[in-house]
């Protein structure tokens, strides 16, 4: 009986000592942008309360997750105030993203972005692959500008 109590105590301590993964936790990923929603110069303004924020929507082929995950392709909604990343960079760069899983409410918003208007414009990486339907992909969000994964990762 002592062993059962000890085992239960250890399990409870472990459950409370090991932090659960927060939905707000940023997940580092590496991959290439295979498509951008609409044209290369098309950006969108988010409605208040995020007044004057730009939103870009990318389809990303994830080559490396920092945590065990199964998704190969995802949608990334990037909300920012910074300059746009040039379209040519998407044709030749392996990117490092810090994303977080969208909440159910944010997923609805993301789904509305992928359901609207013209489809995604493939990059050079996307032109050589059969891309999935963006409406079937999970949505991730970021407000941090993606950065090249490494200097040598900027060539095809």
| 5: in domain | no
| Number of CB atoms found within 10 A of residue 2's CB | 6
| 68: in domain | yes
8-state DSSP, 54 = E
Phi/psi of residue 121, nearest 5 degrees: -95, 115
| 10: in domain | no
| 8: in domain | no
| 3: in domain | no
CA 144 to CA 119: how far, in whole Å? Answer: 24
pLDDT single digits (tens) 15-68? 444 444 444 689 999 999 999 987 555 555 555 455 567 778 899 999 999 988
pLDDT band at 11 (very low <50, low <70, confident <90, very high): very low
Cβ neighbourhood burial of 115 (10 Å; 0-12, 13-18, 19+):
exposed
| 37: in domain | yes
| 144: in domain | yes
| 121: in domain | yes
Host domain of residue 138: 26-154
* Number of compact structural domains in the chain: 1
pLDDT single digits (tens) 74-119? 999 988 877 778 888 999 999 999 999 988 888 877 777 666 655 7
**Of 92, 100, 78, nearest to 148 (Cα)?**
92
């Amino acid at each position: 009986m002592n062993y059962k109590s000890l085992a239960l105590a250890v399990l409870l301590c472990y459950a409370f000592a090991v932090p659960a993964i927060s939905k707000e936790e940023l997940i580092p990923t590496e991959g290439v942008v295979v498509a951008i929603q609409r044209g290369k110069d098309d950006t969108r303004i988010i409605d208040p309360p995020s007044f004057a924020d730009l939103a870009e929507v990318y389809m990303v082929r994830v080559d490396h997750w920092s945590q065990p995950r199964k998704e190969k392709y995802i949608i990334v909604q990037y909300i920012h105030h910074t300059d746009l990343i040039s379209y040519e960079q998407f044709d030749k760069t392996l990117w490092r993203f810090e994303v977080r899983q969208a909440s159910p409410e944010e997923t609805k918003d993301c789904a509305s972005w992928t359901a609207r208007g013209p489809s995604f414009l493939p990059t050079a990486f996307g032109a050589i692959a059969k891309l999935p339907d963006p409406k079937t992909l999970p949505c991730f969000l970021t407000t941090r500008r993606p950065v090249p994964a490494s200097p040598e990762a900027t060539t095809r």
